[in-house]
Amino acid sequence: MEIIHLEYTDVFDNNASKKIVFSKYLIKKEFNKNSLFAVLVDGESMQPMINHKAVIVADLSQKELESDGIYLVYYGDKMWVKRYNKQDDTFISINPLYSDLVYPKKDIYLVARVLLTFTNL
């Protein structure tokens, strides 16, 4: 079994560097191992799919948009996790409390596709 090791910074724990270790078989889509990275989520706009303080694994090499795919996007000097809405060509929040967070594709920089989410680490 091939194991993947990634590091991320825990901003809730004095910016401590932490590691996440998992089997490559947890990722159900094709991916580029050299383009994977992990990041800690700060916010509730993607709940219940992605919880506050979850660790997500994303692939920098995946820039092709799929309807309802989850992506990391750069907008307004911040990185956001959002679902792609092909119908409106926008990136949206899943949590109805954050329905105002809608970013047109033309206004964002696409960073990576989210492939995996870990909660309660």
Two tokens, residue 38: 């992990």
Q: How many domains does the chain have?
A: 1
For position 77, which CATH number holds?
Answer: 2.10.109.10
Residue range of the domain that includes 67: 3-118
Q: What is the pLDDT of residues 27-47, one digit of tens each?
A: 999 999 999 999 999 999 999
**Percent of the chain beyond pLDDT 90?**
97
Q: What is the pLDDT of residues 78-114, one digit of tens each?
A: 999 999 999 999 999 999 999 999 999 999 999 999 9
* Half-sphere exposure in the Cβ direction for 62 (13 Å, CA): 21
Cα distances from 99 to residues 34, 75, 121, in angstroms, run 34, 16, 28
How far apart, in whole angstroms, are the C-alpha atoms of residue 18 and residue 53? 13
